[in-house]
Amino acid sequence: MLRAGAGGPPGGYSGGARVPPPGAPPPPVEVTGRRKRPHSIWTKMQRKHVSLEQVSDIMAFRVVVETVMHCYEALGHLHAAYRAVPEQFKDYLSNPKENGYRSLHTVLIGPNGHRIEVQIRTREMHEFAENGAAAHWLYKQEGGGVDGRQYEWVQQFLDILESASSPEEFLSHTKMQLFPEQVFCFTPKGDLKALPAGATLVDFAYAIHSEVGDRCAGGRVNGRQVPLRTELTNGDRVEIATANSLRVTPEWDRFVVTGKAKAHIRRHVRLRRREEFIKLGRQLLDSEMREAGHAWRERQLAPVAVRRELDSPDDLLAAIGDGRIPAREVVRALYPEAPLDADTETVVSIERARRRRGERPRPLLIRGVIPGLATHFARCCHPIPGDRIVGIITTGKGVTVHTDECLTLESFSHTPERWIELDWADEPDQEQPGHVGRMRLTAVNKPGTLAHVASLIAGNQANISNLKFVNRQPDFFDILIDVEVNDTRHLNDIMAALSARPEIASVKRAKR
């Protein structure tokens, strides 16, 4: 390891660096060291007003390597072998001094508790430091001119300084000029991880291992607890805390920058959302089957899935859950002999609803309908008890019930003879099951949202009869939900309960 020679001259170099024979190429790593002279120590104490214990460079080493990557690798090895003083670390690679000086500076706690300063730089940086403006290590100077490329490199930063409108802008542009695409960080063991600029703790976790990323629960940067979305900088020492189970959330996808992290996060979100859709699809299909008076088993879905060009019954249930395939179409495919609903109207089977709820027969509670005339509820406006309603007579179909605010009524304005006045019977305490109310809901797009919605609706003694996504964004989605309710009060109670959920942005009655 590095050591300052005890027997050599106080200002000289000795120890861990190997001296190559004459004519041999320079080694890939060159290590030199020195001890500060007593007079220099006293001068620094006076100039900085510090005690002897606070002077960090009484013993100092310089490490010269070939590339920037090697600089950070060397830093990682040193921090793994010795305890570092965090507040003494300086990254002049990403943030060079005004005179163009670049190097990594760190202070280690060496044997017997002595502080040791180490500077790490590339050979090109070293030559610039030795022959240019930086003279901190200028103990002896060898001959030779400075490569013109170094001055050209400095001139680039002078141009940035002249064109920048503020120190902050200069710093930002300088970082991009120096190292536009990567940051170098370390694990607690000193392993180096190169990440894209803007990488966060979650990116770092996935860089270690995909399982570490999947179970990432928190982390520390340079010993401080920080949020997962914290952007890392060069030289950061990062510790990742993991949980026993998956912790992936859709929010991670908004701040990670590495392809590996994004791919794993999106995969887990898709799988979790698929499980949610399968569960919801099973509920929707079960509700539709019970309403049709059919018993069913999941293995019956395999032929329907094949006809729909899906791989499995689970794929079919997921398609029902996310609204791609209506549950009633699956019922029709399984029981083609069952009567079909009209495309624009739903025939409400009161007898079927009674059988499901175990109720005794009773008349349809609408006044104004001609006896013997079939009654249908329009699917454009979904009228339910409590709405103001009108009827439209259709030849061969009977009476179609609309709300009086339905936009479809405009198309019948030229045939007033088809209109009839309707009203709900005055039996407010008597429930009328089987009426479908439609809600439009805007919710946060994250796993578990639909499950909470379905559970809340079921907890309010209602069934979901249909579900359709109308707009889906990365952060929010809009969905139409058809719910079997007793009346407007029942539907309003459900909407109020949904509005109280933090993941629900808005919920309202859908007009069509």
Q: Quick check: is 254 in a domain?
A: yes
Burial 372-408 (b: 16+ CB within 10 A, else e): eeebbbbbbbbbbbbbebbbbbeeeebbbbbbeebeb
CB 200 within 8 A of CB 216: no
Domain boundary (314, 340, 366) is at 340
Residue identified by tokens 């059919």 is 294
* High-pLDDT (> 90) share of the chain, %: 10
The verdict on residue 152 lying in a domain is no
- Say whether both 377 and 279 belong to one domain: no
State the sign of the Cα–Cα–Cα–Cα dihedral 232, 235, 237, 242. positive
- Whether residue 243 sits in one domain with residue 185: yes
Please tell me the predicted confidence (pLDDT) of residue 239. 93
Give domain status of residue 157, yes or no. no
Partners of 287 in the beta sheet?
none
Which range, of 116-130, 207-221, 273-287, averages the lowest pLDDT?
273-287
pLDDT band, very low/low/confident/very high, at 205 (cuts 50, 70, 90): very high
Please report which confidence band the pLDDT of residue 361 belongs to, taking 50, 70 and 90 as the band edges.
very low
Per the document, the length of the chain is 512
| Residue 67: inside a domain | yes
Q: Which residues of 257-288 are buried (b: 16+ CB within 10 A; e: fewer)?
A: ebeebbebbeebbeebbbebbbbbbbbbbebb
Query: What is residue 338's predicted lDDT score, i.e. its pLDDT?
Result: 58
First-last CA distance in the chain: 78
Domain boundary pick from 427, 455, 482: 427
Span 362-385, mean pLDDT? 70
Q: What is the pLDDT, as a whole number, of residue 434?
A: 66
347 confidence band (pLDDT: 50, 70, 90): very low
CA distances from 314 to 214, 238, 247, 299, 479 (A): 25, 41, 24, 10, 22
Rounded CA Rg of the chain: 37
Q: By residue range, what is the domain housing residue 496?
A: 435-509
Q: Which residues of 189-211 are buried (b: 16+ CB within 10 A; e: fewer)?
A: ebebbebebebbbbbbbbbbeee
Number of domains in the chain: 5
What was the pLDDT predicted at 412?
Answer: 84
Q: Which residues pair with 59 in a beta bridge?
A: 35, 116
The contacts of residue 453 (CB under 8 Å, 6+ apart) are 441, 443, 481, 498, 501, 504
Share of the chain above pLDDT 70, in %: 71
DSSP state of 197: T
Kindly report, residue by residue over 491-503, the tens digit of the pLDDT: 999 999 998 888 8
Q: Are 4 and 35 in contact (CB under 8 A)?
A: yes
Same domain, 381 and 421: yes
Position 110 scores a pLDDT of 79
User: Rounded mean pLDDT of 80-100?
Assistant: 81
363 within some domain: yes
CA 50/CA 53 separation, integer angstroms? 8
Are 262 and 278 in a shared domain? Answer: no
Work out the average pLDDT over 273-285. Answer: 82
* pLDDT per residue as tens digits for the range 1-52: 444 443 333 333 333 434 444 454 445 788 888 776 776 767 767 666 666 6
Q: What is the CATH number of the domain that holds 96?
A: 3.30.460.10
> Which range, of 212-221, 315-324, 425-434, averages the lowest pLDDT?
425-434
Q: Give the residue among 221, 214, 213 at the shortest CA–CA distance from 183.
A: 221
pLDDT over 90 (residue 286): no
Do 260 and 320 sit in the same domain of this protein? no
Relative to beta strand 398-403, strand 375-378 is parallel
Residue 171 has a pLDDT of 56
319 is a domain residue: yes
Residue-wise pLDDT tens digits, 207-264 = 998 899 999 998 999 888 889 999 998 888 899 999 888 888 888 988 998 888 888 8
More confident residue, 115 or 384: 384
Residues 43, 129, single domain; the answer is yes
Whether 469 is in a domain gets the answer: yes
301 Cβ partners below 8 Å, 6+ apart? Answer: 313, 316, 317, 330, 334
CATH number at residue 245: 3.10.20.30
Mean pLDDT along residues 417-429: 72
Domain match, 409 and 423 both: yes
| Statement to judge: residues 466 and 479 lie in one domain | yes
**362-371, 415-424, 445-454: least confidently modelled range:** 362-371
**Considering 301, 318, 340, which residue would you say is the last residue of a domain?**
340
Specify whether the CB–CB gap between 321 and 450 falls below 8 A: yes
